[in-house]
Amino acid sequence: MYTAIAVDGPAGAGKSTAAKRIAKALSYFYIDSGALFRAVTLKAIQRGIDMSDTLGIIHMMKDTVIDFKDEKVYLDGKDVSVEIRSNNVSANSSYPAMISEVRDVVADIQREISKTRNVVADGRDIGTTIFPDAKIKFFMIASVEERAKRRLLELNASGKNYELRDMIEQINKRDRIDSTRVVSPLKKADDAIEIDTDGKTIDDVVSEMLDYIDKRLNK
């Protein structure tokens, strides 16, 4: 039986940075579940499918293959790791994530990976739906201002020039869609521990999480 560590929380709370570092420290496989939804979103955009066209997106899923290899995300055999980080994909990614057929495909990919190795998975529903029996669950939070500033730094580092207030608006909108959707909404699992990352460095956050993991795994 392999170990799964769940890292959930809203957009920009620091999940992926922390989860990646934890996976590296423990030599676990890192699953970026958001990247799977982003890949679906990218394909829908490329195909010109409207985000409100649920049937169109479900139909598209029938000939869609998403895979992780060497920390990269492949969509139908093509490395899309950079493209899925664009602001357009971010802004639209919560729409395909509302569709239960899309979530089922993304869930299967993650559960398949976890059958053969220890994993750290980050997302919105890992501790509640994907790995409800995970021994270790984190729920990371931070104020919307702090989260928007982090996203802005990432985007503007790649040469873009977005405004903080637009980023706050986009994050608030994604949070609202993610936490109010019918299937697997963003929600803290009852047995998750909450990590507030406001004002903390990533080093402090990761060492707090690794201390907790160490205690849980060696209990």
Residues that bind ligand C5P (CB under 6 A): 11, 33-34, 37-38, 93-94, 97, 123-126, 174, 178
Q: Which is nearer to ligand C5P, 109 or 125 (CB)?
A: 125
| CA separation for the pair 111, 103 (Å, rounded) | 12
- When the beta carbons of 164 and 217 are compared against ligand C5P, the nearer one is 164
Residue among 156 and 217 whose Cβ is closer to ligand C5P: 156
Alpha helices in 47-99 (DSSP H): 54-61, 87-92
Taking the complex as a whole, how short is the minimal distance between the CB of residue 218 and ligand C5P, in angstroms?
A: 28
Minimum separation from the CB atom of position 168 to ligand C5P (A): 15
Q: How many angstroms separate the Cα of 201 from the Cα of each of 45, 128, 163, 198?
A: 35, 27, 23, 9
What sign does the CA torsion over 104, 107, 112, 115 have?
negative
Round the CA-based radius of gyration of the chain to a whole number and report it. 17
Q: Residue 134 Cβ, how far from ligand C5P at the closest point, in Å?
A: 13
Q: Given the complex with ligand C5P, which of 136 and 217 has the nearer CB atom?
A: 136
Give the neighbor-by-neighbor strand order of the sheet with 119-123.
Answer: 29-32, 119-123, 4-8, 136-141, 193-196
For ligand C5P, the closer CB: 141 or 218:
141
Shortest Cβ 46–ligand C5P spacing (Å): 17
End-to-end CA distance of the chain: 17
CB 99, min distance to ligand C5P, A:
10
